[in-house]
């Protein structure tokens, strides 16, 4: 298969709007979208359900080897065939996903799955924390989406409210901050801004402006 479409990496902290933006860019450019955070969340859900201690590396490796994660085209996430789309966004998973993602055996496993998906796709937009640095260092375009902590907490609360869930702004802000700290301070492929990434501070921008910025950069062929 000839592969002409772009490979796009989007990284950034929790709640910067990476998923919604990446999904829309993928629709506009007609390329595949991969939410790598959903994969870390699905593994975390299994760890929680099976009550695995994070220090128990043997048990963890067994879970990794016996878990099937599938991401559907309509954002659906399936864990061993079960639809866990909603459950992977629960507060239990939010609280444990960063410690689980800091474990090297977990990262090794998921990075190799993600790289295999990229290799077989003609164009892809992949979103996470280590896409430009580790998963697709050869991406054609790399973006780092950021926003102030207050703005990210506000967006998360608004998103949840649309689903009928009321959250406290302070609690959401604290949870996001805690995840950012763990994600950017871990030893194995922490969240960083790579030299060849275009940083987009989305704080004062609308959703459409962010999507346009990425699409225009890609169409314009600029980095
Ligand atoms: O993007 P998200 O908030 O759904 O990601 C959940 C967690 O997964 C995030 O806090 C850290 C981890 N993650 C990671 O370590 N590497 C990635 N490429 C994607 C997510």
List the chain domain ranges: 7-222
Distance CA 105, CA 94 (A): 20
pLDDT digits (tens, 9 = 90+) for 118-160: 999 999 999 999 999 999 999 999 999 999 999 999 999 998 8
CA angle, 77 as apex, 215 and 38 as ends, to 5°?
Answer: 60
Helices (H) and strands (E) in the chain, counts: 8, 8
Q: Name the pLDDT band for 222 (thresholds 50, 70, 90).
A: low
From 128, 144, 147, 153, mutation site for ligand 1 pocket: most ligand atoms within 8 A of C-beta:
128
Evaluate: CB of 130 within 6 angstroms of ligand 1.
Answer: yes
Specify whether domain 7-222 bears CATH 3.40.50.300.
yes
Query: 95: which strand partners?
Result: none
Ligand 1 atom with least separation from CA of 114: 18
Cα 71 to ligand 1 centre (Å): 15
Q: What is the mean pLDDT of residues 34-38?
A: 97
Distance CA 146, CA 101 (A): 20
Cα 1 to ligand 1 centre (Å): 31
Evaluate: CB of 37 within 6 angstroms of ligand 1.
Answer: yes
Radius of gyration over alpha carbons of the chain, in Å?
A: 17
Q: Name the pLDDT band for 32 (thresholds 50, 70, 90).
A: very high
pLDDT digits (tens, 9 = 90+) for 103-119: 999 999 999 999 999 99
Q: Residue 51 is inside which H or E element, if any?
A: none
Evaluate: CB of 15 within 6 angstroms of ligand 1.
Answer: no
What is the pLDDT of the chain when averaged over all its residues?
94
Evaluate: CB of 179 within 6 angstroms of ligand 1.
Answer: yes
- Looking at residue 112, its pLDDT comes to 96
Question: Scanning the structure block, which residue is given the tokens 């967006």?
Answer: 155
Q: Please check the confidence at residue 74 and state whether its pLDDT lies above 90.
A: no
Nearest to 110 by CA among 68, 143, 77, 73: 68
Q: What is the residue with the minimal CA distance to atom 16 of ligand 1?
A: 129
Evaluate: CB of 88 within 6 angstroms of ligand 1.
Answer: no
Evaluate: CB of 133 within 6 angstroms of ligand 1.
Answer: no
Question: Scanning the structure block, which residue is given the tokens 């796009």?
Answer: 8
93 token code pair: 């998973």
Q: Please check the confidence at residue 223 and state whether its pLDDT lies above 80.
A: no
Nearest to 180 by CA among 152, 160, 159, 155: 152
Quote the pTM value.
0.95
Distance CA 25, CA 150 (A): 25
Higher local confidence (pLDDT), 165 or 1: 165
């Amino acid at each position: 298969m000839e592969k002409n479409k772009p490979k796009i990496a989007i990284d950034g902290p929790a709640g910067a709007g990476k998923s919604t933006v990446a999904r829309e860019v993928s629709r506009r450019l007609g390329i595949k979208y991969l939410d790598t955070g959903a994969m870390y969340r699905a593994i975390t859900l299994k760890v929680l359900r099976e009550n695995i201690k994070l220090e128990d590396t043997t048990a963890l490796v067994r879970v990794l080897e016996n878990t099937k994660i599938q991401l559907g085209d309509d954002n659906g996430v399936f864990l061993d065939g079960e639809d866990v789309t909603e459950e992977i966004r629960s507060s239990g998973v939010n609280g444990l996903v960063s410690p689980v993602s800091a474990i090297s055996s977990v990262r090794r496993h998921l990075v190799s799955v993600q790289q295999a998906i990229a290799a077989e796709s003609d164009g892809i937009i992949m979103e996470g924390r280590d896409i430009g640095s580790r998963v697709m260092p050869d991406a054609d375009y790399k973006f780092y989406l950021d926003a102030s902590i207050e703005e990210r907490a506000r967006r998360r609360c608004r998103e949840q409210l649309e689903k009928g869930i009321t959250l406290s702004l302070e609690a959401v802000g604290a949870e996001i901050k805690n995840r950012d700290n763990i994600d950017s301070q871990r030893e194995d492929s922490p969240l960083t801004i790579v030299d060849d990434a275009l940083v987009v501070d989305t704080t004062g921008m609308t959703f459409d402006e962010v999507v346009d910025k990425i699409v225009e950069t890609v169409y314009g062929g600029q980095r």
